[in-house]
Structure 1
Amino acid sequence: MITSTSSVIDFEKAERDTTFLLECFREVLRDLGEHELADHLPFENAGIPLERYPNTERALQAFSIFFQLLNMAEENSGAQNRRALEAEKGLEHLTGLWGRTLGRLRDTGIAETEIRTLLPEIAVNAVLTAHPTEAKRKTVLEQHRQLYLLLVKRENQMWTPQEQQEIRNEIKVVMERLWRTGEILFDKPEVSAERRNVIHYLCNIFPEVLPLLDKRLIQAWKGTGFDPGKLSDPRSLPRLSFGSWVGGDRDGHPLVTAEVTEETLADMRSNALMLVLRHLRELASKLSLSERLHAPGAPLARRIEHLAGRLGEKGQEAMRRNRHEPWRQFINLMIASLPLEAGISDAIRTTSEPCCYMDAAELLEDLALLRESLTAIGAHCIADTDVAPVFRIVQTFGFHLGSLDIRQNSRFHDLALSQLMTAAGLDGSGFLEWDECERRAFLDRELHSPRPFTHPDMTAGPEAEAVLACYRVLLDHGKQYGTDGLGSLIVSMTRNVSDLLVVYLFAREVGLMTPSGDGDACMLPVVPLFETIDDLKKSPAILQEFLLHPVTARSLEYRRKKAGKARRVQEVMIGYSDSNKDGGIFASTWTLYRAQEALLEAGRLCGTDILFFHGRGGSISRGAGPTHRFIKAQPYGSFRAGMCFTEQGETIAQKYANRISAVYNLELFMAGIAGSVIRQQQRKKTEYPLEPIMDLLSEKSHTAYRQLIETEGFLTFFREATPIDIIESNRIGSRPSRRSGKTTLADLRAIPWVFSWNQARFALSGWYGVGSALEALHGIDPETFDEIRFRSHVWPPLRNIVSNADAGIASADLQIMHKYAGLVTDATVRERILGMIEAEYLRTKAYIEILFAEPLETQRLNVNRFIAPRREGLAMLHQQQITLLKRWRELRHSGMNDEADGMLPELFLTVNAISGGLRTTG
């Protein structure tokens, strides 16, 4: 519930906007004959149980819409209040943004020249995924977006009363469409639908946001007292890039086939080229400068002549247009050089003809030349205003929109290699039983040879064919278009070095290896994903051994030279969700911190920079929380090579569907990373005195958490006291909720785990174990506990953990927990597990209050102001979900499956409505 709160929300304005929207919604309901619903929506007479409404499904939808209206009002209030505060108090007023960041760098004595030198080295990569946490249909999300835009529109003071009334009428029309639109998904979305959603953001949202981000940086730069002219060259700005997992992530996802990956790469490329084409055409319409008034200069003239000759008839046609306007003709030639087939239509096809640009880098060189030719004639404003934004579009999105990562589970790879070995006449079944030493010996021998296991006409087995078919798609795409659109080969559940080395054998099998130095190198990065607590602790040794392997060393050097970088870079992905599910929030967060420190040291010893890929989700339990606080809480040096992070499911719409919110959220990342990197250039790493105590707290928290989930009957309690069975039945993502279909806790993905605890208001993955850890320290060493009390607000890693646990506790509700626990049929199991949870809840709440020196209800006023307008409505929804769950399970137990299935739409609506009220699923 708390993950998206903002300290700058004007709650009075949010309440006014909510009241306005609710009045509009009530009018719509009354116009449609829903008088009883209109009369009993919050805030008026909201205590009537939902089951007493004639149509509970419609009542549930009304509550869901109400919560979305409340969320919109709060989002708009935050956006408008930020604008007002910046206008009144300046850009330096707001935490985490460029104004405050640059001002503090200046105040610490860091010179403008040094900041400007480091800015282009800042690299932030946002990767969009389709993890099943988005409970709302895309159609419904579009109506929400329209409503939000209209809410923003009415902020303008220029409208006459009649025009304001018209905006109000438009709002009511959208609300009626929303009311008449079904909220739930009756079929699981296909991967193609998830891909279209991601491409929508990459094509339509982020390209609009990028120039606004750059303008805000330049405004803050000027406001800090620095020379804005120093940032006029777009190459001097930080780099923002995007990636995607949709169509590439096949970890437990049987629907992501080689054909899906091929379609995804083609779609990404064609949409990227259309994006570039659109911006070049807009640029051409602006640059109508005449050569009769300005000489274009010899470099531009030579390049025009070269392109026109290379393009043949297409070049001559481009030159015949816009005579005496060489800058426009140059852009015409750029357009003609795009690798698109003639006769572009809605169903375009890309090409790779020799006369076309081979990659986006060639186009960037021409755009740089265009900008230089304009500055040479004194047209600086035109160069900065018209050309620089197009350069940034091409620099950011290239000819591929975003890189597509390929992720697969290490166990799947084991099976695939076993099948390849068997097909080659080797002991494939034995490989599955070998220990790490035996595997390493075999892999090292094989990697000395370029010989593949199989011939092209041979078949091995389903897992082997799935891996090789995917890699062949990558090879073919790379040969035809280059590797810019290809991301990393990510190995989830990396537990040993062999889990990474097997990928080189798959690459060898299809030809993804290339000669380099004294052997072969892999064209694409092989990336470990460390997820569990134990794997994170082992990760430094695994990484160091991997980096020292000859194939890895050659591969890193190959890609370093290709990218033209000074140092080798190895990407490492770390998982927040599974480590939390495995060890609880304190152990997860601190183990991730310690692992990053040790991984950085392993990289240093091997002469390699480490680029961390943070697999964060949308809830506190899965790594979310205030962005600026998260960035400050990371170890020294962790952003030296940049930052990569996932944006998953519902968080994509929450943070980026609206332009103002998108700018704000991306600026938090860009400014935060820049500030961290630049500050750390000025000081050496020092060990903080509380780090050993954090190790102890992590251990105690981990022990308490494991005691809970390993207690007899826990899995029964979880399955009966939460709506996990409804969530598993829901159709909110194309991917299954379990990796292999087993009904074990280990096989359950972290997302439905968090989702189900949140729905039942336990939210235990956000706080459980913290109280036990603090209590243990208080008993063992009271003086150190007092030191923790003093430092909990000033040391970012500790503050991040305590604040997140505080938010987790605020999301939980003891009274509602008890009601859900009433669904557990075994009284002994219910009392045992609920007793442990309640005791830890009270313990955690008490100790966090000790740290803050006051009750949470008064200490976190903003959090409680978010909760207050939701509390009564959520209580009604929870009661209705519990009633329906009990009835549904009884029907299934009695074998009345048809009747049970008939209840699913209503149950799904409760999930949607509660998610809307909590502002999160999982």
Structure 2
Amino acid sequence: MRLSQKKAAFQNQVLTRFDLFKSLFLTLPFQRVRHTGTLLPFFTTHCEQGVEKHQTPERIIDSFFDQYEQYVQEDDRLDLLFRIVQYVERQVVLFDAVEDSAFKSVGKSDETGGLDSILGATQSNPQTRKQVINRLKEMSVRLVLTAHPTQFYPGPVLSIINDLIEVLKKNDIPKIHLLLQQLGKTPFINKLKPTPVDEAASLAWYLENVFYKVASDIQARIDDELELSTKELDHLIELGFWPGGDRDGNPNVTWESTKKVATLLRTILFRCYYRDFRVVKRRITFRGVESYMEKLQELFYDNSFNPVENPVDETEKILENLTAIIRVLREDHDGLFVEIVEDLKRKVLTFGCYFTTLDIRQDSSVLRQTFNWLLENYPEETGISLAEIGDSEEAKEQHIKFTEHNLALNEGAEPLVEDTLKVIQLIKQIQQSGSERAVQRFIISNCQQASDILGLMQLFLWQGWKKEDLTMDFVPLFETVDDLKHAADVMRSLYSNEVYAHHLKKRGNKQTIMLGFSDSTKDGGYLMANWSIYKAKVELTAISREYDVDLIFFDGRGGPPARGGGKTQRFYASMGKEIENNHIQLTIQGQTISSQYGSLDSARYNIEQLIQAGLVSDLQQKVGDTLTPKQKDVIDQMAAESHHKFLELRHHPQFLQYLETLSPLKALSSINISSRPMKRNSGKELRLEDLRAISFVTAWSQLKQNIPGFFGVGTALQWAEDNNLWSYVKNLYETSGMFNTVIDNCMMSMTKSNFHITAYLKDDPEFGEFWTLLKEEFDLTKSYLMKLTGMEELMENYPVERASILEREKIILPLLIIQHYAIRLLEKQAVKDEKTETYQKLIGRTIYGVVNAGRNLA
């Protein structure tokens, strides 16, 4: 389908249908809804006109109330603003559902062929078929769901969205009307902050309703197309999970919550199995399978509804009985209904008794604190003196002897120390319940030296684990630009350590390394972050190949391009020969979970695209994807220029003040969306280094300025032109998939920006100069992107995505004006004391709708 056809299809299938269906809101039997819906179009138009005139939010809203005073009494004005927010929130849900219902007919504009084209080629070419099978056997795709505070839709709303998608596909007006009534009555927010277990239960909705079915369907399709047995590719699609295990900077995650989450995941999985088994039981009514069916009935039912305190891994027992049933069906009953049993077996092979691998993550400083606590309390057993080690990394590496003890936890230990030691003990119990795949990775955030890994390994050995039975992978997470520079040196030290090398050998000589986009973007700006991670991957791949280690990159990608999101599949398809890419692993977080994996169609598409990317990067690799030394040098210099420009901005005396004063940054810590604090060292004065990257990016997105996604790129491109390197940059955009994707994602960030909303700040006596500085870099970047790409507008090559973004921006404009209005009134102390909390709540409510509409803003 050509781009113009896709745009026309989007207009007919999404925009026109959305306009039609949103009129149903006005027919809902709620008087307040009708009144709000009648006024909303006038309010939206008034906001658009005010923004065009560069009016302040106060001027826009006050003049609206003056103009429509006969419809809105003065005492009802604040109430109407709340109702507008609630109305727009539900319009966003409707737009999501309409767009997702048209997913198959509209499709995506930036991908051609996908997995279909590759599997199709295997049917006519035996050599291609063999290559694809070999590649699939050595690769895997792991999606790791994280509980970062940007997933705003609660479970009931997610269910309504999915039901809406299905009835919208059928244009079933009565049912659509009923669901919109349900939507109107269903709350969108939590009254209390969620606990880590609450977050796990919320994300488990996707496991149960989407991934459980989609992973099996994709696996079955590949097995059928390539004529493979059920077990040959059982690790192709994997799932990971952070809620309940990610304790980095979150004091609310404890070993108790980790245990509860592991139990919850197991129970939900067995209920999925039990539902499928009931279908099997209804169909498999033949002789010869009775005993196997009875055993499975007991296994599935008891683990679903009568779970014991410390269950054991039942995977092999389940597979044994399913295999026996399949054998009987084929031998004695002509294979009747064998496909539904094979489907259940495929799911058991994929999910075992654990559903998803629960990752444990903690900051290196906490692990060092725990290590030192044991040295102080058990000097004889550990045989290490703190005074002897001092601050020397070399001394610490030499003194870690990997001795085995079972050191008890004394009273008086710091809570973080206690939690670290108890979760290390708990891991063994979880593995007994669901195999080592239930929990097999410990991720060290802010990893800066080899001893961070070696020290953690020693902590396990001091808590009763044995070197020969240490079924854990230790994963360093390199995040900042500086840490990425030194990552290769850290890994060389690890690979050179005899004990660690022996441990790696027992783990199949596989080493997972996590690279974090979020903090590197906050630390170095958009271009430097992308380039630093790319360079680190090249260096880490070279060192790992030197030591014959199978390297697995685990990318900490967020939703927005500023945190590594955007056109993710294209990144993986364009890694080139210098970067290990057998295993694709990435975090899926925030509203990206619901937008890309919230429905069966979208989840199937996006998982298949990742598999396709892994195949293409090996089988159809382009010459331009492996950069030449000159190309690397050009990007390196551009990244340095961009970094310098970004650091000037970061060090500007008004940088944090601007963000705190004009954005809803303060409100992010008070709304009930996450168990995780907005910043590290909460309670202390805000420092940029303590501010979480998610909060940092979210605050800029609410201002509609998206600084982390473009700032410095225009300066870098201008520098390249001024230094006669423009032809190299043009060639990079045309030949390098990596560079092309970096530029295209930058354009996505800019398309979601709207400096007109804050243009009134240009003449502001306090922030006018700073706002102008931001706007000038935006304009510079846009002009150079147009020159580089030959486009006349941002995202011209992606008309469907562009149209979707612009429509969503139009829907939420009233929310942004209301939000900025409330922020400015509170900042000016123009609100009566008794209404301060009400205005704060108003700000919080607008954040929900803006982020949900953006789909990858936070």
Q: TM-score, normalised by structure 1?
A: 0.83
Cα offsets for 1:503-546 (capped at 9, x unmatched)? 0222122112x243xxxx63311110010111111111111211
CA distance, structure 2, for counterparts of residue 727 and residue 236 of structure 1: 43
**Conserved? CA contact 2:443–2:477, under 8 Å:** yes
**Structure-2 change in CA distance of 1:813 and 1:361 (3 Å):** same
Paired residue secondary structure (1:527)? strand
Deviations 1:655-674 (A, max 9, x none): 22221122112111122223
Amino acid at match of 2:254: T
Q: Does 1:18 align with 2:18?
A: yes
Q: Which residue identity lines up with residue 213 of structure 1 in the other structure? A: I
3-state DSSP class of the match of 1:690? Answer: helix
Distance in 2 separating the partners of 1:107 and 1:776: 50
Q: Give the equivalent residue in structure 1 for 2:68.
A: none
Q: Which one of 134, 140, 143 corresponds to residue 123 of structure 1?
A: 140
User: Is 1:852 the equivalent of 2:795?
Assistant: no
Report if the CA contact (8 A) 2:761-2:768 is conserved: no
- Provide the aligned length of Structure 1 versus Structure 2: 823
CA contact (8 A) 1:639 1:677 kept: no
Counterpart pick for 2:696 among 730, 736, 753: 753
* Structure 2 counterpart of 1:787: 728
- Residues 105-120 of structure 1 correspond to what in structure 2 (within 5 A)? 110-120=127-137
Q: Greater shift after overlay, 721-730 or 569-578?
A: 721-730
Q: Secondary structure at the match of 1:21?
A: helix
Q: 1:376 and 1:488, CA in 2 relative to 1: closer, same or farther beyond 3 A?
A: same
> Per-residue CA shift, 1:424-444, capped at 9, x if unaligned?
3599999599666x2442343
- Aligned residue among 301, 315, 324 for 1:360: 315
Distance 1:24 1:217, change over 3 A: farther
Take 2:515 and 2:484, find their aligned partners in 1: how far apart are those partners?
8
**2:822 and 2:840 in contact (8 A); partners too:** no
3-state SS in 2 of match to 1:737? coil
CA change 1:866–1:905 in 2 (3 A) is same
Correspondence 1:807 to 2:748: yes
1:152 deviates by: 2.3
Paired with 1:535 and 1:457, the residues of 2 have a C-alpha distance of 34
Partner residue of 1:258 out of 255, 280, 289: 255
The amino acid of 2:37's aligned partner reads A
8 Å Cα contact 1:10-1:78 kept in structure 2: no
Instruction: Provide closer, same or farther for how the CA distance between residues 816 and 552 of structure 1 changes in structure 2, counting only shifts above 3 A.
Output: same
1:774 paired with 2:717, answer yes
Amino acid at match of 2:650: I
Q: Please name the residue that 2:364 is paired with.
A: 410
Q: Do structure 1's residue 188 and structure 2's residue 188 form an aligned pair? A: no
Q: In the alignment, is residue 597 of structure 1 matched against residue 532 of structure 2?
A: no
Could you say if the C-alpha distance between residues 218 and 627 of structure 1 is closer, same or farther in structure 2, counting changes exceeding 3 Å? farther
Q: Which moved more, 1:247-256 or 1:472-481?
A: 472-481
Identify the match of residue 543 of structure 1 among 480, 487, 491.
491
Determine helix, strand or coil for the equivalent of 1:447: coil
**Quick check: 402-411 or 851-860, which moved more?**
851-860
Moved more, 272-281 or 608-617: 272-281
- Residue 59 (structure 1) aligned to one of 43, 63, 84: 84
Equivalent pair of 1:46/1:873 in contact (CA under 8 Å): no
* Cα distance between partner residues in 1 of 2:292 and 2:43: 65
Cα distance in 2 for partners of 1:147, 1:770 equals 41
Aligned to 2:56: none
Letter aligned with residue 114 of structure 2: L
2:592–2:855 contact (8 Å) kept in structure 1: no
2:527 is paired with a residue whose SS is helix
CA contact (8 A) 1:627 1:668 kept: no
Counterpart of 1:348?
Answer: 307
SS at structure 1 position matched to 2:652: coil
Decide whether the 8 Å contact of 2:517 with 2:529 is kept in 1: yes
**What does residue 294 of structure 1 align with?**
none
Distance of 1:795 and 1:682 partners within structure 2: 8
Q: Which amino acid is the alignment partner of residue 439 of structure 2?
A: L
| Structure 1 segment 217-616 matched on structure 2, within 5 A | 217=222, 221=225, 230-236=227-233, 239-289=236-286, 325-336=287-298, 338=299, 341=302, 346-349=305-308, 352=311, 358-368=313-323, 370-371=325-326, 374-375=329-330, 379=334, 382-383=337-338, 385-425=339-379, 438-451=392-405, 454-455=407-408, 457=410, 459-479=412-432, 482-512=435-465, 514-516=466-468, 522-560=470-508, 568-616=509-557
Quick check: 1:729 aligned with 2:729? no
Q: Deviations over 1:69-124 (max 9, x none)?
A: 223222222333349x9xxxxxxx96263112335678999532232233233211
Query: 2:120 & 2:578 partners in 1: Cα distance?
Result: 22
Aligned 8 A contact 1:722 1:820 in 2: no
Deviations 1:804-837 (A, max 9, x none): 1111111111222334678x8xx35x23422321
With over 3 angstroms needed to count, the CA separation of the structure-2 counterparts of 1:821 and 1:499, relative to structure 1, is farther
Deviation at 1:632, TM superposition (A): 1.9
What per-residue deviation string (whole Å, max 9, x for no partner) do you get for residues 670-713 of structure 1?
22223323446999977475222111111111111111111222
Say if 1:658 and 1:493 are closer, same or farther in 2 by CA, change over 3 A: same
Q: Is the 8 A contact 1:124 1:669 kept in 2?
A: yes
Question: Equivalents in 2 of 1:592, 1:775: separation in Å?
Answer: 23
Instruction: Map Cα deviations across residues 41-80 of structure 1 (whole Å, 9 max, x no partner).
Output: 4499732655635411101211222233223222222333
Deviation sequence 1:623-664 (CA, Å, 0-9, x none): 111233222233436454412111112222222222112211
User: Following TM superposition, by how much is the alpha carbon of 1:378 offset from its aligned partner in structure 2, in angstroms?
Assistant: 8.8
Q: TM-score, normalised by structure 2?
A: 0.88
Change (3 A) 1:886 1:286: same
Output the amino acid matched with 1:56. L
Quote how far apart the aligned CAs of 1:469 are: 1.3
Report the counterpart of residue 865 of structure 1 in structure 2: 803
Corresponding residue number in structure 2 for 1:887: 825
The residue number in structure 2 matching 1:642 is: 583
Residue 842 (structure 1) aligns with: 779
What percent of counterpart residues are identical? 23
Structure 1 stretch 677-686 or stretch 852-861: which is displaced more?
677-686
- When residues 577 and 270 of structure 1 are mapped into structure 2, their CA distance, relative to the original with a 3 A threshold, is same
Preserved contact between residue 762 and residue 813 of structure 1 (Cα < 8 Å): yes
Provide closer, same or farther for how the CA distance between residues 876 and 363 of structure 1 changes in structure 2, counting only shifts above 3 A: closer
Structure 2: gaps (5+ residues): 1-5, 48-59, 66-71
Q: Which AA in structure 2 matches 1:39?
A: T
Secondary structure of 1:182's partner? coil
Give CA deviations for 1:361-394 in whole Å, capped at 9, x if unaligned: 45435544554565556946744x2232112101
Check whether the contact 2:553–2:585 (CA below 8 A) recurs between aligned residues. Answer: yes
- Whole-angstrom CA distance in 2 between matches of 1:360 and 1:701: 52
Report the 3-state secondary structure (helix = DSSP H, G, I; strand = E; otherwise coil) of the residue aligned with 2:359.
strand
Is residue 738–residue 747 contact of structure 1 (8 Å, CA) maintained in 2?
A: yes
1:10 is matched by which residue type in structure 2?
F
Structure 1, unpaired ranges of 5+: 1-5, 86-92, 155-166, 222-227, 290-324, 561-567
* Aligned 8 A contact 1:119 1:238 in 2: no
Structure 2 CA distance for partners of 1:865 and 1:477, relative to 1, 3 Å: closer
1:574 is paired with a residue of what secondary structure? strand
Match of 1:299 in 2: none
| 1:46 match | 45
Aligned equivalent of 1:146, options 140, 163, 174:
163
Task: Sort the Cα spacing of 1:467 and 1:432 in 2 relative to 1 into closer, same or farther, 3 A.
Answer: farther
Partner of 2:846: 910
- Alpha-carbon deviation of 1:410? 0.8
AA aligned to 2:850 is: I
Equivalent position of 2:93 in the other structure: 68
1:95 aligns to what? 112
Q: 1:443 to 1:209 in 2, by over 3 A?
A: same
Q: Deviations over 1:781-806 (max 9, x none)?
A: 2xx31232244133201101110111
Question: Alpha-carbon deviations, 1:566-599, whole Å to 9, x = none?
Answer: xx10111110111111111111111111111111
CA distance in 2, matches of 1:880, 1:773: 36
CA distance in 2 between counterparts of 1:589 and 1:762 reads 20
Opposite residue 904 of structure 1, the aligned amino acid is Q
CA contact (8 A) 1:571 1:612 kept: yes
CA, structure 1 residues 699+679, in 2 after alignment: closer, same or farther (shift >3 Å)?
Answer: same
Structure 1 residue 402, shift from structure 2 partner: 0.7
Tell me by how many angstroms 1:863 deviates.
Answer: 4.7
